[in-house]
């Protein structure tokens, strides 16, 4: 039973445009959400996070939106750059010492 779902395995976007990556979750106990970026042959690197008390968090070109009623979050990258081409993982966990649960990832390709 997949608790964190990324329904788009891949996404292609033109350089300079907005990239929107989506993530849905089923566990209403999740209260902390993160996005990770992964290049081939490297470990995932932390990108941005949001707690359930917020609905938006922004860091430079990256913004994460959280819609708790829909159990949906999204990552916006504006403007997209070729170096953003990578696999993006959405992750979530509930409070306390619980492990992160990851989605299957979305491969973003930014075309110059």
Partner 1 sequence: DVKVTQSSRYLVKRTGEKVFLECVQDMDHENMFWYRQDPGLGLRLIYFSYDVKMKEKGDIPEGYSVSREKKERFSLILESASTNQTSMYLCASYGYNSPLHFGNGTRLTVT
* CB-CB neighbours of 19 under 10 Å: 24
- Contacts to partner 1 from residues 36-55, by CB under 8 A: 36, 41-46, 49
Closest distance between partner 1 and the C-beta of residue 97, in Å?
5
Structure tokens at 61: 């070109």
Closest distance between partner 1 and the C-beta of residue 102, in Å?
4
Closest distance between partner 1 and the C-beta of residue 54, in Å?
15
Closer residue to partner 1 in complex, CB, 15/46: 46
Residue 83 interacts with partner 1 (CB under 8 A): yes or no: no
CA distance 58 to 5: 22
CA distance 40 to 57: 27
């Amino acid at each position: 039973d997949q608790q964190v779902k990324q329904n788009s395995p891949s996404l292609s976007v033109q350089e300079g445009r907005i990239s929107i990556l989506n993530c849905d979750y089923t566990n209403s106990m999740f209260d902390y959400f993160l996005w990770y970026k992964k290049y081939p042959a490297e470990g995932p690197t932390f990108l941005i996070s949001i707690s359930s008390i917020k609905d938006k968090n922004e860091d430079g070109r990256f913004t994460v939106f959280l819609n708790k009623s829909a159990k949906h979050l999204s990552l916006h990258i504006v403007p997209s750059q070729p170096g953003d081409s990578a696999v993006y993982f959405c992750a979530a966990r509930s409070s306390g010492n619980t492990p992160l649960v990851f989605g299957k990832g979305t491969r973003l390709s930014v075309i110059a």
